[in-house]
Chain A
Amino acid sequence: MAVTLKINGENRSVDADDETPLLWVLRDDLRLTGTKFGCGIAQCGACTVHVNGQPRRACVTPLSMLEGADVTTIEGLEGREAEAVRAAWAEYDTPQCGYCQSGQIMTAAALLQRTPQPSDEEIDDALAGNICRCATYVRIRKAVKAAGEKLEG
Chain B
Amino acid sequence: MRTLNIAGSTFSIAIIAALLSACGQGPSEPAAPANDVNGLKTPAAFADIADDADRAAALFGEMSKVMLHPRCANCHPREGGPTQGDDMHPHSPPVVRGFGMGAAGMECSTCHGPANFAFASMEGSIPGAVPWMLAPQSMGWVGATPAEICAQIKDTERNGGRTLDDLVFHNSEDHLVNWAWHPGEGRAPAPGDQETFGALTAAWAQAGAHCPAG
| Contact surface of A with B, Cβ cutoff 8 Å | 19-21, 24, 40-43, 45, 48, 54-57, 59-62, 65, 107-108, 110-111, 114-115, 118, 122, 125-129, 131
Contacts and interface: CB of A to CB of B under 8 A. Distances in A.
A128 B104 contact: no
**Chain A residues touching B, majority SS:** mixed
A115 B104 CA distance: 7
A40 B126 contact: no
Contact of B106 (A43, A65, A128): A128
Given A19-B120, A41-B124, A127 B114 contact: no
Specify which of A41, A56, A61, A122 lies most central, judged by the most chain B CB atoms within 10 Å of its CB: A41
A41 B106 CA distance: 16
Given A107-B106, A128-B94, A42 B113 contact: no
A43 B105 CA distance: 15
A19 to B, nearest CB: 7
Interface residues of B, number: 25
A118 B120 CA distance: 35
B107 A43 contact: no
Given A42-B126, A125-B96, A129-B95, A60 B106 contact: no
Contacts of B124: 41
Contacts of B119: 40-41, 60
B110 interface: yes
A143 to B, nearest CB: 14
Contact of A40 (B95, B103, B121): B121
Interface of B: 92-96, 98, 103-107, 109-111, 113-115, 117-122, 124, 126
Contacts of A62: 113, 117
B111 A111 contact: no
A22 B111 CA distance: 12
A111 B105 contact: yes
Given A56-B110, A60-B117, A43 B103 contact: no
A54 B107 contact: yes
Q: Which of A42, A127, A129 has the most CB of B within 10 A?
A: A129
B105 A114 contact: yes
Contacts of A65: 113-115
Given A19-B120, A24-B120, A129 B111 contact: yes
22 contacts: A19-B117, A20-B120, A21-B120, A40-B119, A41-B119, A41-B121, A43-B93, A54-B107, A54-B110, A55-B105, A55-B106, A56-B109, A62-B113, A62-B117, A65-B115, A107-B106, A111-B105, A125-B98, A125-B105, A125-B106, A128-B103, A131-B93
Contact of A45 (B93, B104, B113, B114): B93
Contact of A54 (B92, B93, B109): B109
Contact of A107 (B92, B96, B105, B114): B105
Please name the 5 residue pairs, one residue from A and one from B, whose CB atoms are nearest each other, closest first.
A126-B105, A111-B105, A125-B103, A40-B121, A129-B93
A32 to B, nearest CB: 17
A117 B4 CA distance: 99
Contacts of A19: 117-118, 120
A41 B122 contact: yes
Contacts of A127: 105-106
Contacts of B98: 125
A114 B115 CA distance: 26
Nearest to A41: B119
